[in-house]
Structure 1
Amino acid sequence: MTRNLTLMIIVTVVLGVVAAQAEWKMVVHGEDSREEFNLAEVDSVTFYNPPPMVTVPAGIFIMGDGVATCGVDQREVTLTRDFHLGQHEVMNQEYLEAVQWAYDHGYVTATATSVRDNLDGSTEELLDLEDADCEIAFSGGTFSLRESPSSWAQSAYPGGYDPSDHPVKEVTWYGAARYCDWLSLQAGLPRAYEHNGDWSCNDGDPYGAAGYRLPTDAEWEYAAQWDDERIYPWGDEVPDCSRANFYYHGYCVGWTSPVSSYPDAPQVLGLSDMAGNVWEWCNDWEVCGLGTIPVTDPTGPGSGISRVLRGGSWGLGDSPRCALRMDYNPPVDSTNEIGFRAARTTNP
């Protein structure tokens, strides 16, 4: 697997000839844009590489399958905007590099036991470093990776393992939303989330957010079943340990597996781990019964107690159907079975 790492290179312009040649220009070309700068006025240039994402076209689908937990209700959902979705669950290495950047910029505080928010007056816990299941550590101003000393991890990988490409875990919903905002800040985009009150995403309109964010409940299921109302991300075939990391007559692995260890599903989109490995935080507040009335660009309840979790996990004993939804995890929760992937509206 090719590992995608966040790359940040600061280039300082110190050459006297540049300062003397004020007419020198720097032209930055984007896919549909062109920006020009006076080179003598450029103090630094920051390059960054966000996690790989795939484009999911807008469309209409039936949300719910009549069987899955909290997916019994079936309703027609129209999504009017294309969106980008993380090709895989956010890896430990990706989260480490982002949180180190955030710490260096004063956006978080950290101790050996916890990472907490430090923006908009928020002090919410983002990452529980104290739990033995966490594979990120902090000491002396620097974050690092470690193998989990937990009995789960050691039993699953008695010969040791590289935690860098395993999905980040022990991350709260706040820590997932915050990661999305770090990506936005690095890219010069508006932050999607308020970090106080109810942590609203773009004033309650996540589809209109310009920055990175968590996928909505509807977007997640729409991508997982793309585009034929399949029961599972790979199709309608019964799940087993060759298709996903979950509990199938016993643990398939007994801990997380490196992201993209299983065939991409849905393959046409190139998404990995939409079933199993870790549950994934979504943007919406949770309600189990969604009703049957057709909706367009649904955002979920305006408030609640728990945030939606999707996709199942390595410890899930239920069948990881596309319509499966978890309904009892408050945003402060963090466990060894919860992670996330980022999203972004293509043309907000």
Structure 2
Amino acid sequence: MIRRMMVILGFALVFGASVGWGDVTWQMRIHGSEGVEYFPLADIDSLTFVELPAGFVPVPAGAFVMGDGEASCGMDEHEVTLTRDFYLGQHQVTNLEYKEVLQWAYDHGHVGANTSSVWDSLDASTEELLDLDGRTSDGMFETCEIQFDGAGTFYLRPSPRGMIAYPPDYDPSSHPVKEVTWYGSVRYCDWLSLQAGLPRAYEHGGDWSCNGGDPYGAAGYRLPTDAEWEYAAQWDDERIYPWGDEEPDCGRANYYPCVDWTVPVGTYPDAPGALGLSNMAGNVWEWCNDWWVCDLGTTPVTDPPGPGTTSHRVSRGAPWGYYAEGYMRCAYRAHHPVAGNSYLGFRAARTVSAP
């Protein structure tokens, strides 16, 4: 494991003295949720305090080996160095979270909608963002749990599939949003940026590039890159699965036939990733920023933005309706066209701004 890290401090600092025989050594005493740590002041050349957005986890910059030699499209192992600290959503974006920000975007004229679809209306874009009448692949069940009344209001509607899995009182609020296209996921990130007074990360037109092709330098919210997602999932010991090296089971992740629908985000508290990230395997695939190619090669890279334009985007993490355990490996790299389905969701990210 190759690891170089910057420390992100999100808690109080208390200075203390460590007294030796005839000498005084000043140390920093840091009180955290897992105890107290001491750092010699002589070894500290700077301190940076950053604001942690609600619902996000800080991920320090560093280096890791991407790929594990076994996972599909993760066979080739290569060293990746990420030079920027970033925030990653602690959980997948929920129906309620998406609905509330979508309502804000609609009220501000950023999107158009009817009872079957939501589409973009910024930068002359008309891409579909959310398929409101999306169905399971057999056409039997409506799967999008966000609906539009045709008069200006979005609301949540339990999917019939969810009601079968959770009788009798199924509430979709804390379940991950589904039927969101890749455009709809990056659009959500831009809405967060607009609400926070940050520059939008994405160009809505052309190839929808993130920050002109440099996602790591974007000031606003965005999707995690392919490399960032795997780096956070396997933090920081090259574990096979987000929870460790133990084989998947229904006590660690939601995959077929555990529930036969999504579970509320944050389920499986006994099997989080090392950073406290929930559901990094199972529940829904998660859109990433990158275009997809299978072979990434073995050459070491720094801050990789992914390949040029292809036909699919990277998706990670494995969904509720797939049985194969290999899909849940941290290194497994899936791909989908930009359209949404009942197995696809996302979590947001943001680069930690330089001081």
SS of 1:62's partner is: strand
TM-score normalised by structure 2 residue count:
0.81
The separation in 2 between residues aligned to 1:55 and 1:186, in whole angstroms, is 21
The answer to whether the 8 Å contact 2:291/2:312 transfers is yes
SS of 2:236's partner is: coil
In the alignment, what sits opposite 1:104? 107
Say yes or no: does 1:146 pair with 2:152. Answer: no
In the alignment, what sits opposite 1:246? 255
In the alignment, what sits opposite 2:261? 255
Equivalent of 2:228 in 205, 210, 219? 219
In the alignment, what sits opposite 1:277? 283
Equivalent of 2:145 in 130, 135, 142? 135
Residues 132-178 of structure 1: CA distance to partner in whole angstroms, max 9, x if unpaired? 100001011000001002xx323312323110000000000000000
The separation in 1 between residues aligned to 2:227 and 2:105, in whole angstroms, is 30
Q: 1:32 to 1:80 in 2, by over 3 A?
A: closer
Q: Mark the runs of 5 or more structure 1 residues left unpaired by the alignment.
A: 1-30, 34-48
- Alignment map for 1:313-324 (pairs within 5 Å): 313-319=319-325, 320-324=328-332
The separation in 1 between residues aligned to 2:230 and 2:133, in whole angstroms, is 33
The separation in 1 between residues aligned to 2:110 and 2:96, in whole angstroms, is 19
- Percent pairwise identity: 69
Offset at 1:300?
0.7
Q: 1:51 to 1:265 in 2, by over 3 A?
A: farther
Q: 1:219 to 1:169 in 2, by over 3 A?
A: same
The answer to whether the 8 Å contact 1:311/1:322 transfers is yes
SS of 1:176's partner is: helix
Offset at 1:73?
1.0
Residues 289-331 of structure 1: CA distance to partner in whole angstroms, max 9, x if unpaired? 111110000011121110000000101222210011113x111
TM-score normalised by structure 1 residue count:
0.83
SS of 2:74's partner is: coil
Q: Which amino acid aligns with 1:145?
A: L
The separation in 1 between residues aligned to 2:270 and 2:127, in whole angstroms, is 34
Q: 1:317 to 1:122 in 2, by over 3 A?
A: same
Offset at 1:265?
5.0
SS of 1:164's partner is: coil
Equivalent of 2:120 in 102, 117, 127? 117
Q: 1:263 to 1:97 in 2, by over 3 A?
A: same
Q: Mark the runs of 5 or more structure 2 residues left unpaired by the alignment.
A: 1-48, 135-141
More deviation in 91-100 or 260-269? 260-269
The separation in 1 between residues aligned to 2:115 and 2:213, in whole angstroms, is 34
The answer to whether the 8 Å contact 1:147/1:160 transfers is no
Residues 246-276 of structure 1: CA distance to partner in whole angstroms, max 9, x if unpaired? 12xxx10000000001126554411000000
Say yes or no: does 1:68 pair with 2:76. Answer: no
Equivalent of 2:98 in 95, 98, 103? 95
Q: Which amino acid aligns with 2:337?
A: P
SS of 1:174's partner is: helix
- Alignment map for 1:1-348 (pairs within 5 Å): 52-131=55-134, 132-139=142-149, 140-149=151-160, 152-247=161-256, 251-263=257-269, 266-319=272-325, 320-327=328-335, 329-331=336-338, 333-347=339-353
Q: May I ask how many residue pairs the two structures share in their alignment?
A: 296
The separation in 1 between residues aligned to 2:239 and 2:273, in whole angstroms, is 12
Q: 1:205 to 1:75 in 2, by over 3 A?
A: same
Offset at 1:68?
0.9
- RMSD over equivalenced CA pairs, Å: 1.5
The separation in 2 between residues aligned to 1:306 and 1:279, in whole angstroms, is 14
The separation in 1 between residues aligned to 2:318 and 2:171, in whole angstroms, is 23
The answer to whether the 8 Å contact 1:51/1:94 transfers is no
The separation in 2 between residues aligned to 1:58 and 1:235, in whole angstroms, is 21
The separation in 2 between residues aligned to 1:315 and 1:32, in whole angstroms, is 39
In the alignment, what sits opposite 2:8? none
Q: 1:112 to 1:264 in 2, by over 3 A?
A: farther
The answer to whether the 8 Å contact 1:50/1:183 transfers is no
The answer to whether the 8 Å contact 2:90/2:278 transfers is yes
More deviation in 49-58 or 334-343? 49-58
The separation in 1 between residues aligned to 2:270 and 2:307, in whole angstroms, is 31
